[in-house]
Structure 1
Amino acid sequence: IEAFVQAANAIRAGHKLPSDFHDELATAHRTLAVTAVLEAGRLSLDNDGRRVTIDYDEDGQVLLLRF
């Protein structure tokens, strides 16, 4: 928790950007892809093993999950 508080203070003070912490903290940017994979697995299991496709934008960010 201390690392998140320090990061928030550094961002608020203008010394750092949120992107500076992608490799240090579990930011939403980093966890979104993992969450999408887990959600795709759950959707597949809940729908008799149907294939779920994860669509990404040009920057590699998750856009949506679809059957």
Structure 2
Amino acid sequence: MKGNYTSYGQEPVNEWLASRLCELLGFDYCPYAVVKRRTSLISVCPGFVADNEEIITADQIVASEQKS
């Protein structure tokens, strides 16, 4: 599950739309669904990683570096 990172709330819808387009065009893709959780839309998809792995974003790496 993944929530919104923008105030517009369009990220889950964009992910669903992109997965539908890939499906229609015959590309390999990760299927997304959009569900409502409380007052927000979230996107849901199968796991990208195994149980013993995690996703680390480029933002997290940059933020972890000490700046002089």
Identify whether the pair has TM-score above 0.5, normalized to the shorter chain: no
Q: Give the structure, 1 or 2, with the largest relative contact order (CA under 8 Å, sep 6 or more).
A: 2
Q: What TM-score do the two structures reach when normalised by structure 2?
A: 0.29
Q: Quick check: which has more Rg, 1 or 2?
A: 1
Which structure has greater helix proportion? Answer: 1
